[in-house]
Structure formats: C-alpha cells, structure tokens
Amino acid sequence: MDSYISILFTEVYKILFLLVPVLVSVAMIVWLDRRVWAFVQKRRGPNVVGPFGLFQSLADALKYIFKEIIIPASSNKLVFVLAPVVTMTLALISWAVIPFGEDFVLADINVGILYLFAVSSLGVYGIIMGGWASNSKYPFLGAIRSAAQMVSYEVSIGVIIINVLLCVGSLNLSEIVMAQQNLWFVIPLFPMFVIFFISALAETNRPPFDLPEAEAELVAGYQTEYSGMMYAMFWLGEYANILLMCAMGSVLFLGGWLSPIDIFPFNAIPGPFWLIFKILFLFILFALVKATVPRYRYDQLMKLGWKIFLPFSLFYVVLTSSFLLYFDLLPGK
Amino acid sequence: MIAHSVFFYIFSLIAIVSAVMVTVSKNTVHSVFFLILDFISISCLFIMIGAEFLGMIMLIVYVGAVAVLFLFVVMMLNVAEQKGQWFSSRWDGGTHIPVGLLVSLIIFFELIIVIGGWKYKPDLLNSLSINISTEVTNTRSIGNVLYTDYILLFQISGMILLVAMIGAIVLTYRERAGVKRQSYVKQISRERDEGVDLVEAERNKGVKIDA
C-alpha cells in the first residue's frame, strides 16, 4: 500500500510540474497574442499593467474571478456547467504525452499520436455542450458550426499524421522526434506542414476560421451566455489548445526538442528550450495570421477542407508511400 | 494488482450505469451524452487489457465522429422530450414495444450463444495460427494480420462503406433551381470595361437595368 501512495505522490508532483507552467504560459501567450496583433496594426496593445503589460492576463483573470457567474434560468444547468470544465480538462490532459526532451515526458505511451488526435477530436464536445445547454439561438448556431468545422478539419489532420507516420514507422511521439535527427519532416513534407498549419487554425477556431464565434453574426457564438470564471475557462481551454496544436506541429514537423544543427552553440541549449522556441515561433505565426487575414465565409471554409485539403493530402499519402517503397526507405522492417 | 482491479470495476460500473441511463433518461440529448460516456469507459477498459490501439480508435471513430453525428441528428430533429413515453405511459397498441422486445430477445440469445461458445471452446486461443508475442506493439500486430491474411475482407468492407456513402449522397441529393453559386474564375476574369458602364441617364426616366 505504501508503494501505491508514493507512486501517487510522485505522479501528482510530476503532473503539477507540467500543468502549472502550461497554465502560466497560457496566460502569457494571451498577452503575446494581443501584443503581436497590436504591433501588426500599429497599435500599442496591452502595455499598462506591469512591465510591457506582462501582467495584463493576471489582471484579466482576477476580474473574471470576481465577476458573478450567471446561469440562465432556461438553460440545462448541469450540462451548462460541465461544458467549460470539459473544454479545460481536454485541453490540459493532452499535454501528458508531449515529449519535452529525451526521457522527459509524463506518459511515454506507444500510441501517443493517436492519443493526441483522440483528445483533440473530443474537444468538440465542450463547444457542443455549451451551445446546446445555453438554450439560446446564437450559441446553438455557433456550436453547430464549430462542430461541423472541427470534424471536417480533423479528417485532413488525420491524413497528414498518416504522412508523418509513414516516414517514422511508430506511433510514439519520442520516436517521431528521434526519426527527425537527420532531416526535419518540414523539408520533405513541406506541403503537409502548410496544410497542417491551416487545419490547426481551423481546428482551434482561430481567425480566419473563427466562425463559431463570429461576433458580427453570432454575438460570441457558443460563449454568448457564459460569464465570469466559466467564460474564462473556455478562453483558457482555447488558448491551451492553440499551444497544444503548436506543440504538435513542432513535434511532427519541426523536430521537437532537437536543435536545428548539431554543433556546439546550438546543441548546448537543453531540449525543452528548443521545443519552447518552436512552439513560440508557430504561435507568433498564428498571431500574425489572425492580424492579417479576413474571416472566411462558411461555404468557403467547407470547400477548402473537403474539396482541396482532403484530396491533396490523400494524394500526398500515395506519393509519400510510393516514394518510400520505390527507394526502399520504409522504416521498421 | 489491487489498483488494476479497482480501476477495472470503476470503469465497468460507469459503462454499465451509463448504458442503462442511455435507455432510461428522458431527454434524448442526455441519452447521447451517456452513450459517449459509455464509449469512453469502454475504451478505458480496452486500454487496461493492453489493447491501446483499439481503445484509441474507439475514441477517435465512435466518440470523435459517430457520436457527434448522433448529437447533430438529435439536436436538429428536436426530439428531446419525446422519449419519456416508453416507460411512463401505458401501451397504446403501437408496435414499437413488441418489436423492441423481439429484437432484444434475439440479441440476448445471441449473447448467450457467443458466451457459451467461448466457454466450450477453451482451446480456441491455442489453436490460433498467429503466435502472440509481447514484444511487438499491438498496432503493428493488427497491421500485420489485417494487411496480409485478411486483406481481401478488409478491402471488401472498405468497398461496402464506399457504396453506402455514395448511396447516401445519391439518395439525399436534389438539385435546386435558382441557386447562385460563386465562380472564382468569373470573378477574377472580370475586366474594367465590362464591369463599369457609363450611361447618359435621361431625366425623369432613369435607366433600365437588365440583370
């Protein structure tokens, strides 16, 4: 029995060691997002609270905590309360399999990439539950929209993952990173990286695909009826998901914790820092896209997902596998 | 081993209770949520017996896609409160209760046959031609079997799914008249000359525009 308790404590310690930095960086990343957005538009952005406005997110969080939580009388109360909890939980549990370095991962499971994919496909439930339980028109429309959008783009993300897996021969995330020691997958699979990036934008409901919360049409989409801390949880979950997508992109295509060149000044920097640099790089790209591209129309969004991305990535699967087969490069024999 | 069995009982309890709740709960949307909970706990059971690939595929396919469609249909058709009749009201001479009982009887006997067959064939595991090794991950071993011994069946099931998909599209497709579609080629190839038309408008008469 003692051994169980000690295992429990070490695991809880490890989980906290992972989750607390993730939550803090989610708060910081919101600030970074708003700053980058502002700089592109020649504004200043949040620069008042703390040095460079760094504590803006903390101030926002404090405001959300002290606001009243309003639960609409005609809502389905249990589901209404569960929705932000589901969003937040799903956004956080997927960090368990992200490898920050060699043997520096919470759960080194065999099917890591499938786990990531499964959890991100569950993410749609937080939104559907919130939209349905609000019992109001705008949230419901937003929820239906986002469910259709996320299911569509998941398909192309799945096919892109197959492309990477063909080159690795394993579903384990650490092995995916180690397979990129000589060549990051972003080079041979560059078109897939671009499609992954755009699909990740759609999957996380970021602009230009933020139709579920298109304020001009749907007020705030599925979040319309939420207030106070529950709204903040949706918000945190969304940004944690964005960070996760960036982490997934850097593990799949940018060589995870590996340094770009294996010579002295670069490989002296520890692996986790490289992963963080890469996540930040992808996130700044996300923010730049938000600042520059106008919102898509819904039929354009669906057309892009089903008629362009899906056939193209399927074609690329055929191309990759025939290339690997022809040059006898198939891994894991 | 204690922790293992504790988790096993927790997950199977959740699975059974939520399976019962799917049929009992009055709100159809709640039924679908319980169905999702059921799927999730079953995939946890899969992972516990070491079939991690099946568990994850269960999550991705059933919870990530199929149950979303269920939710869509239930929400769109607005059948949320209709199901309570099953238990609350008397049998009104409809056919759904006898048919339902018949179907569940058939499924019950099938289950008995399956379990009985398992019990009276204990040498089934020994007679398998595939030797189960613990070194290969189960993703790889499923792939090894599926794409070699059973490739024909696998492809046939894929074809059946494709036929079903095309059938569904053909059945539901209807061409609507008067729908304006966007044509990127037409939009991009518009020139200034044809786009702008300068007209001398006659006073008090205006210009007639033909669409």
Note whether residue B191 is domain-resident.
Answer: no
Interface contact A147, partner B, CB < 8 A: yes
Q: Please identify, among B70, B87, B104, the residue that sits at the C-terminal boundary of a domain.
A: B87
Question: Does the structure show a pLDDT above 70 at B210?
Answer: no
pLDDT 10s digits, A194-218:
999 999 998 888 888 887 777 667 7
Rounded to the nearest 10 degrees, how much is the dihedral formed by the CA atoms of A184, A189, A194, A199? -100
When mean pLDDT is compared over A302-306, B135-139, B142-146, the highest value belongs to A302-306
Whether A283 maps to a domain, the answer reads yes
Mark yes or no for CB contact B60/A129 under 8 Å.
Answer: no
Q: Is residue B210 part of a domain?
A: no
In a domain, A222, yes or no: yes
Residue B24: predicted pLDDT: 82
Give the range among A23-37, A113-127, A319-333 with minimum mean pLDDT. A319-333
Domain ranges, residue B153: 136-173
- Return the pLDDT at B88: 47
Is residue A140 less than 8 Å (CB to CB) from chain B? yes
Does B36 map to a domain?
yes
Return the residue of B nearest to A145 by Cα. B72
**For residue B107, is it within any domain?**
no
Are B6 and B82 members of one domain?
Answer: yes
Mean pLDDT of chain A: 86
A269 part of contact set with chain B, CB < 8 Å:
no
Asked whether residue B206 is domain-assigned, the answer is no
Q: What is the pLDDT of residue B92?
A: 57
How close B56 gets to chain A, by Cα (Å)? 6
3-state secondary structure of B201: coil
User: Within a domain: residue A30?
Assistant: no
CATH assignment at residue B6: 1.20.120.1200
The predicted structure's pLDDT at residue A255: 83
The 3-state secondary structure of chain A reads CHHHHHHHHHHHHHHHHHHHHHHHHHHHHHHHHHHHHHHHCCCCCCCCCCHHHCCHHHHHHHHHHHCCCCCCCCCCHHHHHHHHHHHHHHHHHHHHHCCCCCCCCCCCCCCHHHHHHHHHHHCHHHHHHHHHHCCCHHHHHHHHHHHHHHHHHHHHHHHHHHHHHHHHCCCCHHHHHHCCCCCCCCCCCHHHHHHHHHHHHHHCCCCCCCHHHCHHHHCCHHHCCCCHHHHHHHHHHHHHHHHHHHHHHHHHCCCCCCCCCCCHHHHCCCHHHHHHHHHHHHHHHHHHHHHHCCCCCHHHHHHHHHHHHHHHHHHHHHHHHHHHHHCCCCCCC
pLDDT at B60 > cutoff 50 = yes
Neighboring chain A residues of B71 at a CB cutoff of 8 Å = 128, 132, 147
Residue A239 lies in a domain: yes
Of B48, B72, B87, the last residue of a domain is B87
How many domains does chain A divide into? 1
- Residue A197: per-residue pLDDT: 93
Is a pLDDT exceeding 90 seen at residue B134?
Answer: no
Residue among B59, B71, B137 whose CB faces A128 most closely:
B71
- Identify whether A202 is part of a domain: yes
Residue A28 domain-assigned (yes or no): no
Number of domains in chain B: 2
- CB of A218 within 8 A of CB of A212? yes
Q: Nearest CB to B60: which of A121, A132, A140?
A: A121
pLDDT at A1 over 80: no
Domain that holds residue A164: 61-326
- Stretch A262-277: mean pLDDT: 80
Question: B68 contacts in A (CB within 8 Å)?
Answer: 124-125, 128, 147, 151
pLDDT of residue A313: 92
What is the reported pLDDT for B94? 63
Q: Chain A within 8 Å of B3 (Cβ-Cβ)?
A: yes
- Among the partner-chain residues A76, A111, A125, the one whose CB lies closest to the CB of B139 is A111
* B73 and B9, same domain (yes or no): yes
Q: Is residue A15 part of a domain?
A: no
A48 lies in some domain: no
pTM tops 0.80, yes or no: yes
| B137 contact A CB<8A | yes
Inside any domain, residue B83 = yes
Query: Can you give the pLDDT at residue B113?
Result: 83
Inside any domain, residue B189: no
